[in-house]
Amino acid sequence: MTDYYQCFASVYNRRTFPVDPAGFLLPLLSALPRGSRVLDVGCGSGRDLLWLRRRGFVMTGFERSEGLAALAESQSGCPVIRGDFRTFDFSTLSFDGLLLVAALVHVPHDELEGVLQGILEALRPGGALLLSLKKGEGTKADDTGRLFYRWQPAVLDPILERLGLDAWRTAEYPSAMGAADIWLTRYLRKSEP
């Protein structure tokens, strides 16, 4: 997926940056106090970084695409770590919150648990996590050739429980971009040891 997000960073930015994220980000305001340090993994061009920074959070992005990372830094005013979330050592980081908004949509079903376990190393015990994935069965490719993995609650929720994540809110949101997609959204807390 790197090639698409690198080659079409400006196109992706034009499509996604103007979308108002308030509907799915507002619940975080009750879960994390102002001043909390939050890592936005797969931050894209920085829309959510900017929205949360304006509300008093200390935001850091994480992005694989250099083109999107540069846009995120310039548009949000937040630092962005460049890296691949599949191989990056997240244990070197410590954050109060994690955003995974559509970040793991290209991760195969049998790899999600391992990938998420690695990313969770950056979240302190008791920290909050927002995770959104496309709802449905199997996979679906879009007109750009990107392959999206779809999820059902009965499959996703046991994975989250095994990883020590407790849901304090669940939601299903229609796509804000007018697509027919439904976003399976989980607001979670990382268990204390």
- Mean pLDDT of the region 49-62: 98
Q: What is the pLDDT of residues 87-139, one digit of tens each?
A: 999 999 999 999 999 999 999 999 999 999 999 999 999 999 999 999 999 99
- Look at the pTM and tell me if it is higher than 0.75: yes
What is the count of structural domains for the chain? Answer: 1
Long-range CB contacts for residues 169-176, cutoff 8 Å, separation at least 24: 169/27, 171/24, 171/27, 172/135, 173/23, 173/24, 173/132, 176/19, 176/20, 176/21, 176/23
Residue span of the structural domain in which 91 resides: 2-190
Task: Give the Cα separation of 45 and 71 in Å (integer).
Answer: 5
- CATH code of the domain covering residue 114: 3.40.50.150
Task: Give the Cα separation of 29 and 27 in Å (integer).
Answer: 5
- Which residue from 123, 104, 106 is spatially nearest to 163, judged by alpha carbons? 123
